[in-house]
């Protein structure tokens, strides 16, 4: 028996050893795959194919391989706006590129500022007398705006095009929480600070409605101006004024309606489009499939045209997405992570710092962490310049205050200077079920904050006092940054968001311009000559595993159909709505501190809501509604 036991232990040890060996070999092979990068040799003469199946963002999130493996679907991709624009500008000057192809079949949008940036780069390609051809099954607002800059726009015979304009409905849970006897204890400063309104009202307050009208009205006008300039023949008023009559005039033929209104030039399927491209780019010698053509994809093109790094470095730190406590990101602005990147960079030889902000704000604690780290550059007489992208509101303004110069675009949404906190309590709901609380308290704050049996008046007063103190600090920071008194800042604060044009008039920003303008200003402030400096993007350069996942998820761009008709796109947005409900529940139920967050700001584009929802959020919502998670 003892001999059999020893043999069994030996077999188990051999099994464990072999398992470890195979696991080691697996990771060695995985590392080899991760090390494979697109190379210059993959560039082919013909077309530059920009297959934008996903969203354009300021900072792509690193792909989570575990979520990808567990998900039943391939995750949507996130394209860095700066990379897409640079690829186009390079194509304008390279004789190997005969035509640029925009595949917008799977394109789900990007912020207004990013679409404008890419559109301007497309204009440079056309100015170099190179054609830009766009194709999609269905076009909606952002893809309409992007395609408007193309020289030839194609639509699938089974597709369609719509222009809806910015805006829409937010969800309001006030009546639901009242019905469930859940109390959303609200602490805020700012008449327009409406991030708390969904939990206490059944619709937007008059102040919020006013703020929405200003922000979305400005964005809508900017969209129409851009499309009108890029594609004068597009009859936007006809499309949006009476969309039903517009479609009925074409007997319900959506592609023909789009063509009649000047949104598209030609109707044809993907094969027809490919044949047209091959007339310019040449046929693909490796693929004889009808509609194939010679092309270079975005990743290969960028790899073959690495950015040069002459002279001294100007650091660029990106603050993209919601500002949260901890080390989250990229794609989310974790305070610990970004402050750490800045403190590490402070030890290097940076001549200046540019802060690129594309965030609706978030945690005050994390915002102050980041602001303090940026302030340390200014204290060492290193020029600090801010460049605002689509949104730089609330916490996005907070982190911008150390800058000596702030750039933004007319389409940027900023402001929303206000503070709030939310604490839900369930004492009424539990009392209805026969559950009450009782005990011994040695001070008024014993056991507080008690979310189950209710908040003591003292703790509520302390939280409100803290929120008010944070708001006063916010006002002082903005006043110091903008050369104003607290009273002057209060005039346009109160949590109200502003478009870029209004922000410039109010003095919230200094001048219009993009990231390149901010870099040039920073170089001049650091007394650097043209060609004597380069941008060093702090924290950029994803890990190898994330790069592998990105490459696996991208698929074969030459053969991918990627067709989404109008109904398919509507389904994608429906799934985004589900994710938004989960996010609203998380905002109410998650343990968060005081927030400087802009709800009325347009949502930042992201592929992540399309992926699997956070089950912890789903569980919390299920518990809130009194149902079991299935």
41, pLDDT greater than 60: no
pLDDT higher than threshold 60 for residue 575: no
Nearby residues of 1 by Cβ (< 8 Å), 6 or more positions away: none
Residue with the bigger pLDDT between 9 and 418: it is 418
Residue 158's pLDDT band, with cuts at 50, 70 and 90, is very high
pLDDT confidence of residue 574: 44
- Residues paired with residue 354 on neighbouring β-strands, in sequence order: 316, 385
Indicate if the pLDDT at residue 404 is higher than 80: yes
Rounded distance between C-alpha atoms, residue 496 and residue 600, angstroms: 9
Residue carrying the six token digits 């100007």: 314
Q: Is 163 exposed, middle or buried (0-12, 13-18, 19+ CB in 10 A)?
A: buried
DSSP readout, 269-287? -HHHHHHHHHHHH---TT-
Q: What is the dihedral of CA 535, 539, 541, 544, to 10 degrees?
A: 170
449 or 499: which carries more pLDDT confidence? Answer: 499
Angle between helix 112-127 and helix 81-93 axes, rounded to 10 deg: 10
State the pLDDT confidence band at 423, using cuts at 50, 70 and 90: confident
pLDDT score recorded for residue 292: 94
CA distance 516 to 529: 15
567 pLDDT higher than 80: no
| Distance of alpha carbon 365 from the chain centroid | 21
Residue 588 has pLDDT above 80, yes or no: no
Contact criterion met (CB below 8 Å) for 194 and 270: no
Summarize pLDDT for 13-31 with one digit per residue, the tens: 666 666 666 655 654 454 4
Diameter over CA atoms, the chain: 91
What is the C-alpha separation between 528 and 352, in angstroms, rounded? 10
User: Predicted confidence band at 607 (pLDDT cuts at 50, 70, 90)?
Assistant: low
Sign of the CA dihedral with 622 first, then 627, 629, and 630 last: negative
Contact between 173 and 201 (Cβ < 8 Å): no
All structural domains of the chain, each given as residue ranges with its CATH number in brackets, are 41-169+210-305+545-601+616-625 (3.90.226.10), 312-437+450-543 (3.90.226.10)
Segment of 45-49, 545-549, 553-557 carrying the highest mean pLDDT: 45-49
Is it the case that residue 72 has pLDDT exceeding 80?
no
**pLDDT (tens digit, 9 = 90+) per residue, 164-222?**
999 888 889 999 999 999 998 888 887 777 778 888 899 988 888 888 898 899 999 99
pTM of the prediction?
Answer: 0.82
Whole-number Å distance between alpha carbons of 264 and 150: 10
Task: Say what the pLDDT of residue 605 is.
Answer: 73
In the predicted model, what is the mean pLDDT of the chain? 84
Task: Extract the tokens encoding 421.
Answer: 């906190």
Q: Write down the pLDDT at residue 20.
A: 60
Q: How many CB atoms lie within 10 A of CB 56?
A: 27
Could you tell me the two tokens for 198? 């969904």
Q: Quick one: average pLDDT of 514-529?
A: 97
Report pLDDT for 8.
Answer: 63
DSSP conformation class of 41: G
- Edge-to-edge strand ranges of the sheet holding 419-425: 183-189, 419-425, 595-597, 361-363, 323-324, 333-334
Q: Examine the pLDDT at 543 and tell me if it is beyond 80.
A: no
Q: What mean pLDDT do residues 573-584 have?
A: 54
The H helix count followed by the E strand count for the chain is 23, 22
Q: What are 138-150's pLDDT values in tens digits?
A: 999 999 999 999 9
What is the structure's pLDDT at 349?
Answer: 87
Mean pLDDT confidence for 411-423: 92
pLDDT band, residue 98 (cuts 50/70/90) = very high
The string of pLDDT tens digits covering residues 373-396 is 999 999 999 999 999 999 999 999
> Could you read off the pLDDT of 233-291 as tens digits, one per residue?
999 999 999 999 999 999 999 999 999 999 999 999 999 999 999 999 999 888 888 99
- 416, 394 Cβ separation under 8 angstroms: yes
Here the tokens at position 602 are 């347009």
**48 contacts 87 by C-beta, under 8 angstroms:** yes
Going by pLDDT thresholds of 50, 70 and 90, the confidence category of residue 621 is very low
pLDDT tens, 288-311? 889 999 999 999 999 999 988 899
pLDDT in tens, 438-480: 889 899 889 888 888 888 999 999 989 999 999 999 999 999 9
């Amino acid at each position: 028996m003892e001999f059999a036991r020893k043999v069994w232990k030996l077999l188990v040890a051999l099994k464990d050893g072999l398992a470890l060996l195979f696991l080691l070999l697996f990771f060695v092979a995985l590392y080899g795959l991760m090390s494979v990068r697109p190379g210059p040799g993959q560039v082919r003469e013909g077309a530059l194919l920009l297959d934008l199946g996903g969203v354009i963002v300021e900072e792509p999130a690193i792909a989570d391989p575990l979520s990808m493996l567990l998900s039943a679907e391939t995750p949507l991709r996130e394209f860095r706006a700066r990379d897409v624009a640079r690829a186009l500008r390079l194509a304008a000057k390279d004789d190997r590129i005969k035509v640029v192809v925009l595949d917008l079949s799977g394109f789900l949008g990007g912020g207004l500022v990013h679409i404008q940036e890419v559109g301007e780069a497309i204009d440079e390609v056309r100015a170099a007398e190179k054609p830009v051809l766009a194709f999609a099954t269905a076009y909606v607002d952002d893809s309409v705006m992007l395609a408007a800059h193309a020289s030839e726009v194609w639509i699938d015979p089974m597709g369609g095009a719509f222009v809806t304009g910015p805006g829409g409905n937010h969800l309001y849970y006030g009546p639901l929480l009242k019905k469930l006897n859940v109390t959303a204890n609200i602490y805020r400063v700012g008449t327009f600070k409406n991030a708390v309104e969904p939990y206490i009202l059944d619709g937007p307050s008059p102040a919020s409605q006013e703020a929405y009208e200003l922000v979305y009205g400005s964005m809508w006008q900017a969209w129409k101006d851009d499309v009108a300039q890029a594609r004068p023949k597009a009859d936007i008023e006809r499309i949006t004024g009476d969309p039903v009559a517009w479609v009925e005039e074409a007997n319900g033929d959506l592609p023909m309606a789009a063509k009649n209104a000047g949104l598209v030039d030609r109707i044809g399927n993907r094969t027809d489009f490919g044949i047209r491209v091959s007339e310019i780019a040449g046929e693909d010698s490796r693929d004889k499939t009808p509609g194939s053509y010679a092309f270079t994809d975005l990743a290969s093109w960028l790899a073959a045209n690495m950015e040069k790094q002459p002279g001294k470095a100007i650091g660029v730190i990106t603050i993209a997405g919601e500002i949260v406590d901890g080390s989250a990101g990229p794609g989310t602005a974790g305070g610990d992570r970004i402050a750490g990147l800045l403190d590490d960079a402070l030890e290097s030889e940076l001549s200046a710092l540019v802060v690129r902000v594309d965030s609706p704000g978030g945690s005050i604690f994390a915002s102050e962490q980041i602001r303090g780290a940026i302030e340390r550059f200014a204290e060492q007489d290193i020029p600090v310049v801010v460049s605002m992208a689509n949104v730089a509101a609330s916490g996005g303004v907070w982190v911008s205050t150390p800058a000596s110069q702030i750039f933004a675009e007319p389409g940027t949404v900023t402001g929303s200077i206000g503070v709030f906190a939310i604490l839900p309590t369930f004492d009424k709901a539990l009392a209805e079920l026969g559950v009450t609380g009782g005990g011994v308290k040695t001070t008024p704050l014993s056991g507080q904050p008690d979310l189950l049996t209710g908040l003591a008046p003292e703790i509520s007063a302390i939280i409100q006092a803290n929120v008010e103190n944070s708001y006063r600090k916010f006002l002082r920071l903005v006043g110091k940054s903008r050369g104003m008194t607290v009273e002057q800042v209060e005039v346009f604060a109160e949590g109200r968001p502003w478009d870029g044009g209004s922000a410039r008039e109010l003095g919230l920003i200094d001048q219009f311009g993009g990231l390149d303008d901010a870099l040039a200003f920073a170089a001049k402030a650091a007394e650097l000559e043209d060609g004597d400096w380069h941008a060093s993007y702090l924290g950029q350069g994803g890990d190898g595993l994330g790069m592998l996942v990105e490459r696996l998820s991208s698929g074969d761009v030459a053969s991918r159909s990627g067709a989404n008709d109008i109904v398919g796109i509507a389904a994608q947005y429906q799934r985004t709505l589900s994710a938004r409900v989960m996010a609203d529940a998380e905002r109410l139920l998650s343990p968060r501190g005081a927030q400087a967050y802009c709800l009325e700001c347009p949502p930042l584009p992201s592929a992540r809501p399309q992926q699997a929802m956070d089950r912890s959020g789903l569980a919390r919502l299920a518990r809130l509604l009194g149902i079991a998670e299935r």
